[in-house]
Amino acid sequence: MSQEKQLPHDHHENELAFNFLCANIDHIEDFRIVSDIFKQLGDPTRLRIFWLLCHCEECVQNIAAMMNMSSPAISHHLRPLKASGLITSRREGKEVYYRTADSQQTKLLHIMMEQVMKINCQICPK
Ligand SMILES: [Zn+2]
């Protein structure tokens, strides 16, 4: 599936890799989806909430208490995380519980964060 791209310099040796790269590098919308995920997580507070919710389901008040923050501040961060599909919520009576969405993407983000932070997760099976 050649994209018929001509490069200024002809020093690629692997035609298969070149064609693969050319076929995908223009899928700007796909890259935007990944960019949006990183944008949602491009804030230490959101990362802390996301990481916390990888391990437990919690209400806003408990998340706020664990993070020494106000409930409105936590809600402010939960909204975009939920809108992006990274976390989900469940209502039970008057209480709303949040947790990380169950997906391959969130599992990888969880593992990636703990690798970068050198945290040996004692909760999740590897
Ligand atoms: Zn973990």
Instruction: Give me the number of domains the chain comprises.
Output: 1
Q: How far is the CA of 49 from the centre of ligand 1 (A)?
A: 12
- Predicted confidence (pLDDT) per residue in 31-85, tens digit: 999 999 999 999 999 999 999 999 999 999 999 999 999 999 999 999 999 999 9
Cα 122 to averaged position of ligand 1 atoms, centre (Å): 7
**In which band, very low, low, confident or very high, does the pLDDT at 4 lie, cut at 50, 70 and 90?**
confident
Q: What is the model's pLDDT at position 126?
A: 62
Identify whether 122 is part of a domain.
no
CATH number of the domain within which 68 lies:
1.10.10.10
Residues 79-112 pLDDT 10s: 999 999 999 999 999 999 999 999 999 999 999 9
Residue 28 binned pLDDT confidence (cut-offs 50, 70, 90)? very high
Q: With respect to residue 125, please indicate whether it lies within any of the assigned structural domains.
A: no
CA of 82 to the centre of ligand 1 (A): 19
Residue 54 falls inside a structural domain: yes
1 falls within a domain: no
Residue 28 or 10, more confident: 28
Distance 96 CA to ligand 1 centre (A): 22
**How far does residue 16's CA lie from ligand 1's centre (Å)?**
37
Has residue 4 been placed in a domain?
Answer: no
Residue 124 covered by a domain: no
> Does some domain include residue 109?
yes
Q: DSSP for the chain, please give it.
A: -------SS-----HHHHHHHHHHHT-HHHHHHHHHHHHHT-SHHHHHHHHHHTT--EEHHHHHHHTT--HHHHHHHHHHHHHTTSEEEEEETTEEEEEE--SHHHHHHHHHHHHHTT---SSS--
Q: Determine the structural domain holding residue 111 and report its residue range.
A: 15-116
Q: Find the 14 Cα to ligand 1 centroid distance in Å.
A: 39
